[in-house]
Amino acid sequence: MAAPPRPHPLARARAAERLNELLGIAWQRGWSARPDLSAAAIFAAGAKGFHPDDERSGRNEADVADFRARLEVLAGALESEARLNNLGRTVAAGMLARTVRQRLALGRWWRHRPADAIGEIAPPLIVLGQMRGGTTRVHRLLAADPAHTATRFCDSWNPVPLRPDLRPLKGAAALRLARVLNPWLDVLHPMTATGVEEELGWLASALGGSAYYTQWHVPSFTRDCEDRDPAPLYREFGRILRTDAQHHGTRSRTRVLKVPEFTDAIPALCTAFPEARFVIARRDPAEAAHSAASLVAAQMAPQTDAADFAWILAEWERKTALRERHLDAAVTALGDRCVVVDFALLDRDWRAAMRGVYAALGRAWTPPVDTAMAHAQARMAQGAHREHRRQRANFAAAGQCAVNGGGTGRGSAE
Nearest Cα residue to 93 out of 43, 54, 137: 43
Distance CA 208, CA 233 (A): 7
Per-residue pLDDT at 395: 75
Residue 35: predicted pLDDT: 98
Query: Does residue 127 have a pLDDT over 80?
Result: yes
Per DSSP, helices labelled H in 145-284 are: 153-157, 167-181, 185-188, 200-204, 210-213, 219-227, 231-248, 266-272
Note the pLDDT tens digit of each residue in 271-296: 999 999 999 999 999 999 999 999 99
State the DSSP string of 398-411: TTSS-TT-------
Burial label, 186 (beta-carbon count in 10 A; 0-12, 13-18, 19+): buried
Instruction: Give the pLDDT band of residue 228 (cuts 50, 70, 90).
Output: very high
* pLDDT for res 385: 58
Band (414; pLDDT cuts 50, 70, 90): very low
pLDDT at 413 over 60: no
Counted residue by residue, the chain has a size of 414
* pLDDT value of residue 384: 60
Q: How far apart are CA 229 and CA 160, in angstroms?
A: 25
Report CA-CA distances (Å) from 114 to 117, 118, 164.
6, 7, 21
**Distance in angstroms (rounded) separating the CA atoms of residues 308 and 261:** 23
Q: Which domains does the chain have, with CATH numbers?
A: 124-400 (3.40.50.300)
Q: Express as a percent the part of the chain with pLDDT over 70.
A: 94
Look at residue 404 in the predicted model and tell me its pLDDT.
Answer: 28
pLDDT for 407 equals 37
Looking at per-residue pLDDT, the higher value among 231 and 186 belongs to 231
Confidence band, pLDDT 50/70/90 cuts, at residue 140: very high
SS3 state of residue 192: coil
Segment holding 128, helix H or strand E? strand 125-129
**What sign does the CA torsion over 5, 11, 16, 18 have?**
negative
Report whether pLDDT(408) > 80. Answer: no
Q: Averaged over 93-122, what is the pLDDT? A: 97
Give the pLDDT mean for 304-309: 96
CB atoms within 10 A of CB 139: 25
Query: Interior CA angle at 390 toward 219 and 345, to 5°?
Result: 85
Whether the pLDDT of residue 10 is over 70: the answer is yes
Q: What is the pLDDT of residue 403?
A: 32
Pairwise CA distance, residues 37 & 97, whole Å? 10
pLDDT of residue 390: 74
Q: CA 23 to CA 298: how far, in whole Å?
A: 21
pLDDT digits (tens, 9 = 90+) for 155-176: 999 999 988 999 999 999 999 9
Q: By C-alpha distance, which of 314, 308, 265 is closest to 286?
A: 314
Average pLDDT value over all residues in the chain = 93
If pLDDT is split at 50, 70 and 90, which confidence band does 37 have? Answer: very high
Please write the tens of the pLDDT for every residue from 339-385: 999 999 999 999 999 999 999 999 999 999 999 999 999 999 886 65
Q: List, for residues 186-204, the tens digit of each pLDDT value.
A: 988 899 999 999 999 999 9
